[in-house]
Amino acid sequence: MTLDHTHDPAARSWLASANAPGCDFPIQNLPFAVLRRRGSGEAFRGAVAIGDQALDLAALAGTGLAQGAAADALALAAQPALNAFMAAGPEAWRTLRHALFALLLGGAADESAVRACLLPLDAVEYTLPARVGDYTDFYTSIDHARNAIRIIMPNAEVTPNFRWLPQAYHGRASTLGVSGQQFHRPHGQVRPPGASAPVFQPCAALDYECELGLWIGPGNPAGQPIPMGQAEDQLFGITLLNDWSARDIQMWEMAPLGPFHAKNFATTVSPWIVTAEALAPFRVAWTRAEGEPQPLAYLDSAANRAQGAIDIRLEVWLETDQARQQGRGPARLSATSFRHQYWTAAQMITHHAAGGCSLQPGDLLGSGTISGPGPGEAGALLELAHGGQKPVDVGGGEQRGFLQDGDTVILHGWCERKGAMRIGFGECRGLVLPAVQA
Ligand code: CA
């Protein structure tokens, strides 16, 4: 992860909104999404965010301003899904980043031609940034794992395998949605406390999970592992991800296999993929506390120890129906960082492929719920409200043990540190609708 002129915190765009303090999309970020003018029925195409605008990459390709390898990469990124661009690999990603940076930099010669390719962010609609062939959800926060198990057994420890492998289950790609997703409260089997038989009913313990989505680049043929030294080349970029979870259904159905109805009704991602390249200034050392086992050799590398973790700040906000009606705005439920995760992105990717599994361009890996060590750092309501037993204050005299119909959950993410430009992820928003009548 080397830094270059595109990470220079002094760089400024000719677009004033990109230089505003606190802007998620300065010229150092340049995240990718797939969008069109809202309500237009136009073809979706790739775009890059800059300030309060989206640079329409299909329009930009039509100007002929990009040349050679940059033009080739631009043609891939302009498509209605980013899979081909993801497949092209780090050299193509970097070439296009550098070309876009040059076109958007203050003083660039072709400003007026590029300006003609901008669309206001408040006038676009998004679709998923790639066709997701497979979605896998990891479980890699030891604080989340510990908090969750202790709701059931107060002094329990996480299972021994947690400390040796990045645990995961294979999820469902068909019900993935982009920010703004609305979904009906799921149905499923639930066994009421003390009952001998389950009932089929709407979920009564609906939850969110604050995660990050890791988007896979070129991938690997079946049977060929991805060594730790090559894992970072497989990481195209990262979005916010909400793994909506039905806790009462999960509790009954999960033994001894993985979650099924509890997790397959909706998963929401933010539209903008912040590239691994843009995240380079926010890499931090990955360490294991004293007394924790060191990883097996295939999950270990000097580079991973030096800079395998990423300091991505995360917040969860909840806006109830009442808050919306009263114009009160959302309430913040928690805040933490991805840097606390027990396993890194590289370790998740390497472990995923290590058994013989093929990863494909556009595959999506959920990081698992991201909870930090301190109070107020839990990434799920299950933990914050102790399994619904201690409902949390959500403003206006309202409380939540679990989510109610009409609740909107909003995830925010950003990176900042001294000596680097702050970059953001935008938001990941989803709304709970009432259960469909049986
Ligand atoms: Ca999860």
DSSP per position, 126-139:
EE-SS--S-EEEEE
Pair (145, 110) in one structural domain: no
CA-CA distance, 50 to 47, in Å (whole number)? 10
Regions of the chain with pLDDT less than 70:
none
Pair (143, 79) in one structural domain: no
Q: Is residue 438 part of a domain?
A: no
Q: Is residue 299 part of a domain?
A: yes
Distance 266 CA to ligand 1 centre (A): 12
CA-CA distance, 142 to 307, in Å (whole number)? 20
- Residue 289 has a pLDDT of 86
| Domain encompassing residue 387 | 135-433
Tally of domains in the chain: 2
Distance 171 CA to ligand 1 centre (A): 9
pTM score of the predicted model = 0.98
Active-site residue, 144 included: yes
Pair (123, 145) in one structural domain: no
Among the three residues 108, 127, 146, which one is the final residue of a domain in this structure?
127
Q: Which of 238, 26, 37 is nearest to 127 (CA)?
A: 37
Q: Is the peptide bond before 434 cis (omega within 30 degrees of 0)?
A: no
pLDDT for 344-398, tens place per residue? Answer: 999 999 999 999 999 999 999 999 999 999 989 999 999 999 999 999 999 999 9
Residue whose structure tokens are 């999820």: 171
Q: Which of 90, 176, 143 is nearest to 314 (CA)?
A: 143
- Residue 1 has a pLDDT of 72
Distance 378 CA to ligand 1 centre (A): 13
Among the three residues 127, 143, 178, which one is the final residue of a domain in this structure?
127
Pair (224, 178) in one structural domain: yes
Distance 98 CA to ligand 1 centre (A): 35
Q: Is residue 297 part of a domain?
A: yes
Q: Can you spell out the DSSP letters for 187-209?
A: EEEE--TT-SS-EEEE-SSEE--
CATH code of the domain in which 314 resides: 3.90.850.10
Catalytic annotation, pick one of 5, 7, 98, 144: 144
Q: Is residue 79 part of a domain?
A: yes
pLDDT for 34-82, tens place per residue? Answer: 999 999 999 999 999 999 999 999 999 999 999 999 999 999 999 999 9
Contact criterion met (CB below 8 Å) for 307 and 1: yes
Helices (H) and strands (E) in the chain, counts: 13, 26
- Residue 437 has a pLDDT of 87
- Residue 115 has a pLDDT of 98
Pair (15, 158) in one structural domain: no
- Residue 353 has a pLDDT of 98
CATH code of the domain in which 26 resides: 2.30.30.230
